Amino acid sequence: MGIGRQVTTSLDGVRDKNIMQLKKLNSVLFPVRYNDKYYADALASGEFTKLAYYSDICVGSIACRLEKKEGGAVRVYIMTLGVLAPYRGLGIGTKLLNHVIDLCTKQNISEIYLHVQTNNDDAIQFYKKFGFEITDTIQNYYTNITPPDCYVVTRFITQETKK
Q: What is the mean pLDDT of residues 4-28?
A: 90
User: What does the pLDDT read at residue 2?
Assistant: 47
Task: Tell me the pLDDT tens digit for each residue of 103-152.
Answer: 999 999 999 999 999 999 999 999 999 999 999 999 999 888 889 999 99
Catalytic residues: 77, 115
% pLDDT > 90, the chain = 82
The residue with greater pLDDT, 10 or 71, is 10
Distance between CA atoms of 134 and 113, rounded to whole angstroms?
10
* CB contact at 8 A, 25 and 61: yes
Distance, in Å, from the CA atom of 102 to the CA atom of 73, rounded to the nearest integer, reads 17
Q: Is 16's pLDDT higher than 80?
A: yes
What is the arithmetic mean of pLDDT over 12-22? 95
The candidate with the shortest Cα–Cα distance to 119, out of 98, 142, 86, 91, is: 142
Mean pLDDT of the chain: 92
3-state SS assignment for residue 138: strand
pTM value surpassing 0.75: yes
